[in-house]
Structure 1
Amino acid sequence: MFQRFALAFSLSLAASTALAAEGPLQIFVSKADQSLTVYDGDKVVATSKVSTGKPGHTTPSGIFSILEKRKYHESNLYSNAPMPFMQRLTWSGIALHEGKVPNHPASHGCVRLPNGFAKTLFQMTERGAHVIITDDPVVPKPVVHANLFTPRLPVDDGGLLSDVELRPGRVEAGLKPVEVAMNSVTPRSGAETKLTIEEPPPLRILITRRTQRDVAMDVQRLLNQLGFDSGVPDGLLGSRTIAAIKAFKDKNAIEKDPEILSKPFLVALYEQAGEDHPPMGQLMIRQKFQPLFSAPIDLKEPEKALGTHFLEATDVDRFKRKAVWRGVTLDDHLPASTQKRLGITIPADDPALFTAEAALSRIVMPDELRARIETMLSEGSSITISDTGLGSETGNGTDFITVTRARPKA
């Protein structure tokens, strides 16, 4: 996914180091240490001091990726200030770029890099490389769990397993098939068959809780199946959908409730539609900065927070069905109002208990959905697990951007 090359340089003033890089790169920025570390798997290939946002212009923490690269760029927000070797992290104005690095936070929110190192890092990365910004430093570690995806070959006809019901990434878009190209070479007599696969671009996978719109789209779909006309499933509670909900409640003698999508209503609707119970989670996939599809999944113990975790696949071998996953857990404090809205009564306050492995153990998804994703899995594919969904920074031309919140200081 990312460029492979060797680096050898010495920047004593910048206190920077760089070595050889061989696989997908991950960039970690620590605001507490004012430092940047580039990982190739579990190997450190570059380090540098940085300068993040000063008080009043704090650099956001969270999970980002490089959206755009420009050797020379001028700020749209701060009097056309020069931003050489700019690598954009958000469309709202956060980026990595060359600038003054005075050993303390001094920027307007961007991550400033020393002269020389900014150019080196610019040459190392490609669009899509992940950048993780935290207060205290974190280190990616191997994560092994049965619920992690393992790559598999496509089905024999070159298509994908498609029994699972999927939803387009955009409501107005139709679901287009996604295929992994396979080329087989017909052997001569006595020769071995060679099979080559054109790997698809890396997947960006988000596992989170369902939003009201996700639930509303399901409600519309199920009402239509049961003969209550709720219109085209778009997740919007318009007059037509509300009328269908009221008709269903009246027919099934469901007590009046100020909440239109009340729990008794949802339980009755899913039971009548033969779908057991409302799913609590949602899996979404993006590829090349565009929504691909989403599908409902279930979450065990939904009253517990999932926490915020990031994992990336390396050493992907489709033929041996192996991949190495490495990940980090990020500190992400949810305000009481957010916990109440999400139905969380047990926050992810203890990092020893709310690990990535613990979150993975609570995820339940259909086998058909897992199979479909695994035929598309490639080097550099990533998983973000978060309680809070897409977030305001995720939009057109982005991967899933997760902004985390530090715990208030006593």
Structure 2
Amino acid sequence: MFQRFALAFSFSLLASTALAADGPLQIFVSKADQTLTVYDGDTVVATTKVSTGKPGHTTPSGIFSILEKRKYHESNLYSNAPMPFMQRLTWSGIALHEGKIPNYPASHGCVRLPNGFAKTLFQMTERGAHVIITDDPVVPRQVTHANLFTPRLPIDDGGLLSDVELRPGRVEAALKPVEVAMNAVPPRSGAEAKLTIEEPPPLRILITRRTQRDVATDVQRLLNKVGFDAGVPDGLLGTRTIAAVRAFKEKHAVEKDGEILSKPFLAALYTEAGEDHPPMGQLMIRQKFQPLFSATVDIKEPEKALGTHFLEATDVDRFKRKAEWRGVTLDDHLAAATQKRLGISTPADDRDVFTAEAALSRIVIPDDVRARIETMLSEGSSITIQDTGLGPETGDGTDFITVTRSKPRV
């Protein structure tokens, strides 16, 4: 995913003296310390002072990736201000770029880099490189858990893993789902047979809670299945769908309450349709900034927040079925109204309790979905786990962008 080479640094603001990247790099920006740190696995390979957004133009915190790179760029928002060695993080105007570093937040929201270092970082990265922005500094660590994906060989006949329903990402509802063809395993002709596989581009995996529209889409599908005409499953509660819901409730004596899609109604509908229960989670996949497919997953103890976590696969060995995962847990304070909307009664405000491992233990991924992902897993693939679904920054030509919210300081 990233260019691998060695460079000598001579900048006074750079802590390390040389870079030799063996795997995907991770870039971390701390707004509290006004620093940027580049990691190769557990090793710090570069660090520098930066200048983030000043009051009124605060740089957003969260999980980003480099969407676009330009050696020279002029701001579309601020009087064509020069932005050399620009690396875009959002289409709304946040980027890494060369600029003045006055040792305090001074930008209009971008992350300014020192002269020289901006060029060096530009040469180190490729589109898709992850950039994590936080208030206080965070350090990636190795994460081990049975629920993490491990690479596996493609299926023997080279066919498609087509038993999982494909769905477009929610923001790109007009796009058609995309099937992914895997390379075929050559016939086994003895111990000397060799297998050559072209590694696919890294996956971007988001695991989050289902939205009301996801639930409504399933309701429409199930109502049609059991003989109530709810129209095309589009997740919109129009008059046709509402009429079908009311007809189902009347026929099956579902108690009436203020909610159209009430819990008693959902339980009765899933039972009637022969399905277990409404799934709580959604797993979505993108590759090269385009949606691949989406599948439902379950979340144990849904009344508890999952928290916000980012993990990236390194040292992926498909033949040994091994991958190392490194990640961080981010502060992400959910407003009371958001918690109520999501049905969360226990927020993930204690990072010592709501760890990445704790979140992974509560996520139930169907075996067929896991198999499909693991045949496509490659170095640099990432997983974002969070509670709030797709945000407004995730759209056409982006990875999954998660903007986090800091807990108000007392």
Q: Which TM-score bucket, shorter chain as reference?
A: over 0.9
Instruction: Work out the CA distance in 1 between the residues paired with 2:14 and 2:195.
Output: 47
**SS of the residue 2:8 aligns to:** coil
Structure 2 counterpart of 1:72, which letter? Y
Deviation string 1:15-55 (CA, Å, 9 cap, x unpaired) is: 67541112111100001111101111111111111000111
Equivalent residues in 2 for 1:101-112 (5 A)?
Answer: 101-112=101-112
Deviation at 1:238, TM superposition (A): 1.2
Maintained 8 Å contact 1:16/1:49: no
Deviation at 1:367, TM superposition (A): 0.6
Structure 2 counterpart of 1:179, which letter? A
Instruction: Work out the CA distance in 2 between the residues paired with 1:406 and 1:55.
Output: 15
Deviation string 1:335-369 (CA, Å, 9 cap, x unpaired) is: 11111111100111111110000000000121111
**SS of the residue 1:260 aligns to:** coil
Instruction: Work out the CA distance in 2 between the residues paired with 1:186 and 1:337.
Output: 58
Maintained 8 Å contact 1:59/1:111: yes
Partner of 1:408: 408
Identity of aligned residues (%): 84
Structure 1 counterpart of 2:64, which letter? F
Maintained 8 Å contact 1:165/1:295: yes
Compared with structure 1, are the counterparts of its residues 244 and 17 closer, same or farther at alpha carbon in structure 2 (3 Å cutoff)?
farther
**SS of the residue 2:197 aligns to:** strand
**SS of the residue 2:121 aligns to:** helix
The answer to whether structure 1 residue 175 and structure 2 residue 177 are counterparts is: yes
Structure 1 counterpart of 2:329, which letter? T
Equivalent residues in 2 for 1:236-247 (5 A)?
Answer: 236-247=236-247
Partner of 1:9: 9
Partner of 1:261: 261
Instruction: Work out the CA distance in 2 between the residues paired with 1:389 and 1:17.
Output: 41
Deviation at 1:288, TM superposition (A): 0.7
Structure 1 residue runs of 4 or more that deviate by more than 6 Å after TM superposition? none
Deviation string 1:230-273 (CA, Å, 9 cap, x unpaired) is: 11111111111111111111111112222111111101001111
The answer to whether structure 1 residue 68 and structure 2 residue 68 are counterparts is: yes
Compared with structure 1, are the counterparts of its residues 363 and 183 closer, same or farther at alpha carbon in structure 2 (3 Å cutoff)?
closer
**SS of the residue 1:181 aligns to:** coil
Instruction: Work out the CA distance in 1 between the residues paired with 2:229 and 2:216.
Output: 14
Deviation string 1:175-198 (CA, Å, 9 cap, x unpaired) is: 3321222464997xx881111101
Structure 2 counterpart of 1:175, which letter? P
Deviation string 1:304-350 (CA, Å, 9 cap, x unpaired) is: 01000000001111111100000000011111111111110011111
Partner of 1:374: 374
Partner of 2:206: 206
Partner of 2:321: 321
What 5-or-longer segments of structure 1 have no aligned partner? none
Query: In terms of mean alpha carbon deviation, does 160-169 or 80-89 score higher?
Result: 160-169
Partner of 1:46: 46
Maintained 8 Å contact 1:180/1:197: no
Deviation string 1:111-163 (CA, Å, 9 cap, x unpaired) is: 00000000000000000000000011111100000000001111111124332
Maintained 8 Å contact 2:97/2:113: yes
Structure 1 counterpart of 2:196, which letter? T
Q: Which TM-score applies when normalising by structure 2?
A: 0.96
How many residue pairs get aligned? The number is: 408
Instruction: Work out the CA distance in 2 between the residues paired with 1:278 and 1:338.
Output: 20
What 5-or-longer segments of structure 2 have no aligned partner? none
